[in-house]
Structure 1
Amino acid sequence: MSAEANKPSKNRLFFALWPDEAVIEAVERMRGELGLDQGRPVPQENLHITLLFLGDVPDETLDDLKALADRLALASCEIVLDRLEHWVRPAVLCLTASEVPEPVAELVNQLKRGVRKLGFKPEKRPFRPHLTLARKVRRRVGERQIEPVRWPVRDFVLVKSDRDDQGSRYTILGRWPRSREAVP
């Protein structure tokens, strides 16, 4: 038996906010108005905001990650993507939010604390909400304000990422709705 056969199976995972149809339509409308024609556009089905990237995760950890998500709360809020930015180092064009809604910031902090207890080493950089529009953008694009894309946050998801010659394919492994508000 080879050493490869003895290696535990792993999945490339991340927690994210996943857009509904209205958000996708707003992003596509804005993308068309800006006339963005460079780089490799991110397909509609891959649009998202990463909350916490986990990397390669052993299969046996998946249930622990889902149990963690079951315990977390997400209050009602809205992310406003109001800037277009070109990040030279990763060569991506992104929509970014000038402000991080407190419920989203708290969810990210809860995720980081939770995965740390599971043995992960989450990224230390502060969370910065962004939606990648295009990859491999080599020609400089100036940062600018745009017509805001309003994203009502209704849930968060755990996503598996598979790569091939065509890019990344994402599969949602679990979805957790925001907390229900108390009804008077």
Structure 2
Amino acid sequence: MRCFLGLDLSPQTKLAIEQWRDKALPVTRSQIPACNFHITSVFLGDVSMPVLDAICSEVDHLSLPKAEILLNEMGYWSKPRVTFLTSTSPSSELTHIATKLSHIAKRLSVRVEDRRYIPHVTIQRKASHAPPAPIIAPDFTCQFDAIHLFESCSTEKGVRYPILKTWPLV
């Protein structure tokens, strides 16, 4: 199964980001549907059920803090060709969550990227170039009280991210 651990945005925030994107940026064919907006904490990739069960068992015993982020900056990464929203000052709680989950994955021999964690919400994929600066600055406060195990499912209508398991943040 292709999976990741992450944070789900509220439906209201997903719709607000979609509406902002549609007003502030040129419309492209590579727009991510609002239902897919999320923040990945750690990408697990293709993992077997025994490894996934072991990860879930480890997360069951964690006590992770509630977190929030102010999405107030737009960015673009040329190598994966994605446009995203992030924060000029990401919370230490989000980094703490990602670090703890990454350590669990590594301990269970899951290959995890070794690079600085930047919490973000991807809003466009396969963007051939960076979009122009938005005509309206992003300004979305997201609060999180749970971490989720998502599956990445390819369908005829595109990728979907059903939630397989949820853990509360305290």
Do the structures match in fold with TM over 0.5?
yes
Secondary structure of 2:143's partner? strand
Residue of structure 2 in register with 1:151 after alignment: 142
Gaps of 5+ in 2: none
CA-based RMSD: 1.8
AA at the equivalent of 1:122: V
Larger radius of gyration: 1
Residue 97 of structure 1, CA deviation: 1.6
Residue of structure 2 in register with 1:61 after alignment: 51
Secondary structure of 2:139's partner? strand
- Of 10, 24, 49 in structure 1, the residue corresponding to residue 14 of structure 2 is 24
Residue 143 of structure 1, CA deviation: 5.0
Gaps of 5+ in 1: 1-10, 180-184
1:2-44 Cα offsets, whole Å, 9 max, x none, are xxxxxxxxx0010111111221122123113204302411112
- Of 78, 101, 117 in structure 2, the residue corresponding to residue 88 of structure 1 is 78
Residue of structure 1 in register with 2:103 after alignment: 113
Residues 15 and 53 in structure 1, CA contact (< 8 A), matched pair in contact too: yes
- Of 76, 98, 112 in structure 1, the residue corresponding to residue 66 of structure 2 is 76
Distance of aligned partners of 1:128 and 1:143 in 2 relative to their CA distance in 1, 3 Å threshold: farther
Residue of structure 2 in register with 1:5 after alignment: none
Matches within 5 A, 1:170-181: 170-179=161-170
Distance of aligned partners of 1:134 and 1:92 in 2 relative to their CA distance in 1, 3 Å threshold: same
Residue 165 of structure 1, CA deviation: 4.5
The percentage of counterpart residues that share the same residue type is 28
Residues 94 and 134 in structure 1, CA contact (< 8 A), matched pair in contact too: yes
Residue 159 of structure 1, CA deviation: 0.7
The structure that is strand-richer by fraction is 1
AA at the equivalent of 2:139: P
Aligned length: 169
Distance of aligned partners of 1:117 and 1:140 in 2 relative to their CA distance in 1, 3 Å threshold: closer
Residue 139 of structure 1, CA deviation: 3.8
Output the CA distance in 2 between the equivalents of 1:134 and 1:156: 23
- TM-score, scaled to structure 1: 0.84
- TM-score, scaled to structure 2: 0.90
Residue 76 of structure 1, CA deviation: 2.6
